[in-house]
Structure 1
């Protein structure tokens, strides 16, 4: 298990119970996003996910999330197209929401999470930034969801 997997896993455990969306009964967005970012995922971890998004025409957005400055927005439809309908359907099923709702939630969370995981303006070679920052950021995002 790599450093990124460890950080994401620890953040997921730390947020279990509070990261369940609305009053503990909503989707487990921590687990869903963790699955996308895990080094063992089909996307190939953070770096693989970013390459996939860039290859699908979202390069400017991805670079804004990784770089310094304001994050460019991405729509749920753009993410769905970039990640593929099958993956988005799986994520929606995991969350127990519609395909459109899954895309909408991810379009709000991914830019912020990627921004937080790349504090120096580049994808870390061996993992992510501080666990405390990541856990706090995920918890804050999930309270808004």
Structure 2
């Protein structure tokens, strides 16, 4: 997916995110982390952090942004944080069955968010000045 490829290239180089940008899981991650209004990933990361905070797993998602190790996330924790409507939409966009999408998302999302927040700051640090 162009979003992930551009983000990774801008920060680390073309293969930095560690997944094929055209893979179904990359489609799901890009859809999850891309703001619907501006098509920038910053707002999506903020919304993701909020979702995890509201369901009691904020420390997990914040560890992906902070400098240091990433806490793992289970498919069940993702399901609780994202909710059925988002899961259905991501599965539809990616073409993956919901449970498989959640499993792959739990494996890749922590590293992608970590790499998109290299300075350990929430999305506002990206200077959403293009809005």
Q: Which runs of 5+ in 2 are unaligned?
A: 15-19, 38-42
Cα distance between partner residues in 1 of 2:96 and 2:5? 25
Identify the residue that residue 35 of structure 1 maps to in structure 2.
31
Aligned to 2:17: none
Q: Equivalent residue for 1:50?
A: 49
How far is the alpha carbon of 1:96 from its aligned partner?
A: 2.2
> CA offset at residue 126 of structure 1?
5.4
Q: Secondary structure at the match of 2:55?
A: helix
Deviations 1:22-68 (A, max 9, x none): xxxxx2x3232112111226xx4211121111211111111211112
Aligned residue-pair number:
112
Instruction: Tell me how far 1:11 sits from its aligned partner.
Output: 2.6
Q: TM-score, normalized by length of structure 1?
A: 0.65
Q: Which residue of 2 aligns with 1:8?
A: 3
- Could you say which residue in structure 2 is the equivalent of 1:86? 85
Deviation at 1:127, TM superposition (A): 3.0
TM-score of the superposition, structure 2-length normalised? 0.71
The answer on 1:62 being equivalent to 2:67 is: no
RMSD between aligned alpha carbons? 2.7
Unaligned runs of 5+ in 1: 1-6, 22-26, 129-145
Q: Which residue matches 1:114?
A: 113
